[in-house]
Amino acid sequence: MISFNQVSKRYPGGFEALKNVSFELAKGEMAYLSGHSGAGKSTLLRLIAAIERPNTGAVLVNNQNVSALKSGALPYLRRNIGMIFQDHKLLFDRSVFDNVQLPLQICGSDHKETGKRVRAALDKVGLLGREKSNPIALSGGEQQRLCIARAIVNRPSILLADEPTGNLDAEYAQEIMNIFNSFHQVGVTLLISTHDTGMLQSNRVRVITLKHGEIQTAPPVTQEGSGQAASSKPSVLSAAEGSGL
Amino acid sequence: MSALSQHAGVARVALRRVFASPVAGFLNILVIGIALSLPAGMYVLLQNAQGLVAQLSGPPQISLFLTLDANADNIAQLRRQLARNNAIGKIEFVSRADALEKLGQSNGLADVIAGLESNPLPDAFVITPKITAARSLETLRDELQKLPYIELAQLDSAWAYKLEAILEFARIMVLILTVLLSLALIAITFNTIRLQIMTQRDEIMVAKLIGATNTFIRRPFLYFGAIQGLLGGITAWLIIALSLYLLKQPLATLSQLYASNFALQPLTFSDSFSLMLFSMYLGWLGAWLSVARHLSRIEPQ
C-alpha cells in the first residue's frame, strides 16, 4: 500500500530530515512510526500525502509514484488518505458537524448521504451529541477525536496520524488508540507516529523507528505470530529510548 | 442535480459572505454602483442628446443648382431621374423666379433686386435624403453632381459634421471613463478577494490537505466577485433611474419654454441587462485575477 524506496529529504538550508529511508507497509497493515522529535516522523508522513516531495528516491502509494504526481492530481491522492494532525487543524468558524462535512463537500457527495455519513463518523469517535457545538468548546481529547472523524468520514483506505496522542493524558490516549484499532480491524492501512513509548509497549504492533532521519531496526515484524512480535519488542523499545526521548 | 445544488450552495455561501460585515459589504457595492453609474449615465445622456439634436436640426438637405441653359424638359427629366433614386426622400423644385422673390422678401433686398437687369439665380432642386450618416451623404452628393444640367450639388452638411464630431467626442469620453472605472471595479474586487483569502487562509490550507481541487477552492471567491459585481450593477441602474426621475420635471419645464416636447428616455431593457451582465463579469474577473495571484501561495505546511 505504502512503499518507500531509498527516500531522502533535505530541506533548504541543508538539514537532512530523511536519509535513504526504505520500508513497505502492506494493505491493511497497522504500524507505529516512532522516534525522537526531529527524527523525521512528520516529514515521512508528509511525503506520503505529497505535502512535500523527496529529493531522491520514490514514495509509492497504491503503486502510484506520489513524488512524480502532477499538482493537479494531488487532491485525488489526498482524498484516499485520512490525515490526523497533532494540532488538529480544525476550523473554528463552523460547527463540529460542518468540520466533519468538509471532506464530503469537497468530493461533492449529495446532501442526504452527507448527513448520514457525518453522523456515522461522529458516532464512531463518540461525539454524536456535539454536532452543533463549536470545536473551540471541545476538550483537547475531543478535538483530536473530531479530527479523526473528519479524517475517516470519507472512508479512506489509508489513515496517517501525526502524534495523535501527543498532548493527551493516558486515558484519552488509550481511547484514541482503541478507535485506531477498530479501523485496523476493518482493513484500513494505518501509520501512526508517536514518541509515546508507553503506547508502544501496550499494543503489539509493528514499529518503524527513525533516528536522525534513518530507519533504526529492520521492520519486517508481521502481526501473525504474536510471539515473534513480542520478541522483537525489546530491541525496538531500546532503540526508541536510546534516541533520547 | 448534485452538481447544480452544490453550485447553489456555494452561491448562498458567497452571498452570505458579501454581507458578512453589512456596512463594509454595502459600501463596496455602493462604490461599484457609483463607479459604473458615471459612464452608464453619460451613455444615457448621449443617447438622449443624439435624439434631441436630430429633432432640433431637422433632416439634412442637398441643394442642386441647375445650369442656366436647362429648359423645362430637362428639368422634368431630371426630376424623374431623382425620383428613381432610393436614397432620396423628398424632392422640392424651386424655380429661379421663386428663388428671386424669396430672396427679396427675406433679406429686404427688394431694391437691389429690382435694379437687376436679369435674374442671376438658377433653378434648383432641394432634396431631402433618407440617409443621415455624413459619409453616405457625401457619396450621394458626388453622385448627384454627375447628373446632366447640374451646376452644383451642395450638401448642407456642416451641421451634420459638427454634430457628429461632438457626439464622437462624447462617445470617446464615455469610452475612456468606462475603461478607467471598469479597471477601478476590477481593482476593488481584487483587493476584497485578497483580504478574504488572507482571512480564510486556514480554511484554504485545510481544504487543500483533505483533497480539495483548486477549482473547488476558487469557486466561492468567483461567486463572491460575480455577486458583488451584479449587486453593484443593480445599484448603478438604480442611481441612473433615480437621477432621470429627478431630472424629468425640470427638463419638461425647460423643454416647454423652448416649445419642444423633449423627454429623457430611460435605459432600455437590453441596455440595463448589458449593464448588469458587464458589472457581474468585471466582478468575476477581479476575483479570478486575485485568486490566481494569491491562492497558489497558500500551500499546506
Binned at pLDDT 50, 70 and 90, residue B141 comes out as confident
Tally the domains of chain B: 2
CATH of the domain at A170: 3.40.50.300
Distances (CA, A) of B71 to B68, B96, B107, B144: 8, 12, 28, 18
CATH of the domain at B75: 3.30.70.3040
Q: B194-212 b/e with 16+ CB inside 10 Å = b? A: bebbeebeebbebbbbbbb
Q: How far does the CA of residue B29 sit from the closest CA of chain A (Å)?
A: 25
Residue numbers in B near A159 (CB within 8 A): none
Chain A nearest-CA residue for B10: A105
Among B5, B6, B210, the residue with its CB nearest the CB of A102 is B210
Domain finish residue from B155, B176, B205? B155
Q: Is the pLDDT of residue B117 over 70?
A: yes
- Poorest-confidence range of A58-62, B83-87, B269-273? B83-87
* Greater model confidence, B266 or A117: A117
**B113: which DSSP letter?**
H
- Say if the Cβ atoms of A111 and B301 lie within 8 Å: no
User: Does B99 lie in the same domain as B144?
Assistant: yes
Residue A39 lies inside a defined structural domain of this protein: yes
Range of the domain at B203: 3-56+161-297
B210 touching chain A per CB within 8 A: yes
User: Does A227 lie in the same domain as A179?
Assistant: yes
Angle at A128 between CA A125 and CA A129, to 5 degrees: 135
Range of the domain at A231: 24-52+68-80+159-239
User: Does A227 lie in the same domain as A171?
Assistant: yes
Burial class (CB in 10 A: 0-12, 13-18, 19+), A64: middle
Mean residue pLDDT of chain A comes to 82
User: Does B40 lie in the same domain as B67?
Assistant: no
Rounded to an integer, the average pLDDT of A133-154 is: 90
Rounded to an integer, the average pLDDT of A147-170 is: 88
User: Does A76 lie in the same domain as A194?
Assistant: yes
Query: What's the confidence (pLDDT) of residue A242?
Result: 38
Query: What's the confidence (pLDDT) of residue A213?
Result: 87
Rounded to an integer, the average pLDDT of A191-218 is: 78
For residue A199, what are the contacts with CB-CB under 8 A and spacing of at least 6? A32, A165, A173, A177
The pLDDT tens digits of the residues spanning A214-239 come to 888 654 444 444 444 444 434 344 34
Residue numbers in B near A154 (CB within 8 A): 210-211
The pLDDT tens digits of the residues spanning B100-114 come to 887 777 666 777 777
User: Does B70 lie in the same domain as B41?
Assistant: no
Chain A nearest-CA residue for B201: A91
Query: What's the confidence (pLDDT) of residue A245?
Result: 37
Q: Which residue has the cell 477601478?
A: B184
- Say if the Cβ atoms of A78 and B207 lie within 8 Å: no
User: Does B200 lie in the same domain as B99?
Assistant: no
B215 touching chain A per CB within 8 A: no
Among B3, B205, B211, the residue with its CB nearest the CB of A79 is B211
Highest mean pLDDT among B90-104, B138-152, B181-195: B181-195
User: Does B141 lie in the same domain as B75?
Assistant: yes
Domain finish residue from A122, A155, A188? A155
Chain A nearest-CA residue for B214: A72
Query: What's the confidence (pLDDT) of residue B100?
Result: 81
Residue A129 lies inside a defined structural domain of this protein: yes
Reported ipTM exceeds the 0.85 cut: no
Report yes or no: B20 and B224 within 8 Å, Cβ to Cβ.
no
Among B5, B202, B213, the residue with its CB nearest the CB of A91 is B202
Query: What's the confidence (pLDDT) of residue B56?
Result: 64
Q: Which alpha helices (H) appear in B58-200, and where do they start and end? A: 72-84, 96-107, 110-114, 134-145, 158-199
Q: Is the pLDDT of residue B58 over 80?
A: no
Query: What's the confidence (pLDDT) of residue B55?
Result: 67
Q: Is the pLDDT of residue A21 over 70?
A: yes
Q: For the whole model, what pTM was predicted? A: 0.72
* Greater model confidence, A217 or A209: A209
User: Does B211 lie in the same domain as B67?
Assistant: no
Binned at pLDDT 50, 70 and 90, residue B32 comes out as very high
Q: Is the pLDDT of residue A97 over 70?
A: yes
Q: List the one residue out of B208, B60, B5, B144 whose CA is nearest residue A110.
A: B5
What are the cell numbers at A126? 463518540
What are the cell numbers at B91? 424632392
Residue numbers in B near A93 (CB within 8 A): 203
Q: List the one residue out of A2, A9, A4 whose CA is nearest residue A56.
A: A9
Q: How far apart are CA B277 and CA B106, in angstroms?
A: 56
Q: Is the pLDDT of residue B171 over 50?
A: yes
The pLDDT tens digits of the residues spanning B221-247 come to 999 999 999 999 999 999 999 999 998
Tally the domains of chain A: 2
**B85: which DSSP letter?**
-
**B298: which DSSP letter?**
-
Domain finish residue from B155, B187, B215? B155
Rounded to an integer, the average pLDDT of B77-82 is: 86
Q: How far apart are CA A17 and CA A38, in angstroms?
A: 8
* Greater model confidence, A197 or A121: A121
Residue numbers in B near A79 (CB within 8 A): 210-211
Rounded to an integer, the average pLDDT of B181-194 is: 93
- β pairing state of B150-155 and B62-66: antiparallel
User: Does A164 lie in the same domain as A75?
Assistant: yes
Residue A60 pairs in a beta bridge with A3, A65
- Poorest-confidence range of A175-189, B111-125, B167-181? B111-125
Residue numbers in A near B208 (CB within 8 A): 75, 78
Query: What's the confidence (pLDDT) of residue B159?
Result: 67
Half-sphere exposure of A237 (CA within 13 A, CB side): 16
Q: List the one residue out of B28, B44, B37 whose CA is nearest residue B238.
A: B37
User: Does B276 lie in the same domain as B234?
Assistant: yes
Percentage of residues in chain B with pLDDT exceeding 70?
94
For residue A109, what are the contacts with CB-CB under 8 A and spacing of at least 6? A117, B2
Residue numbers in A near B2 (CB within 8 A): 108-110
Domain finish residue from A155, A180, A215? A155
Q: How far apart are CA A238 and CA B204, in angstroms?
A: 41
Residue A181 lies inside a defined structural domain of this protein: yes
Binned at pLDDT 50, 70 and 90, residue B284 comes out as very high
User: Does B79 lie in the same domain as B48?
Assistant: no
Domain finish residue from B111, B129, B155? B155
Report yes or no: A121 and A145 within 8 Å, Cβ to Cβ.
no
What are the cell numbers at B116? 437687376
* Greater model confidence, A226 or B154: B154
Mean residue pLDDT of chain B comes to 85
Domain finish residue from A135, A155, A175? A155
* Greater model confidence, B167 or A151: A151
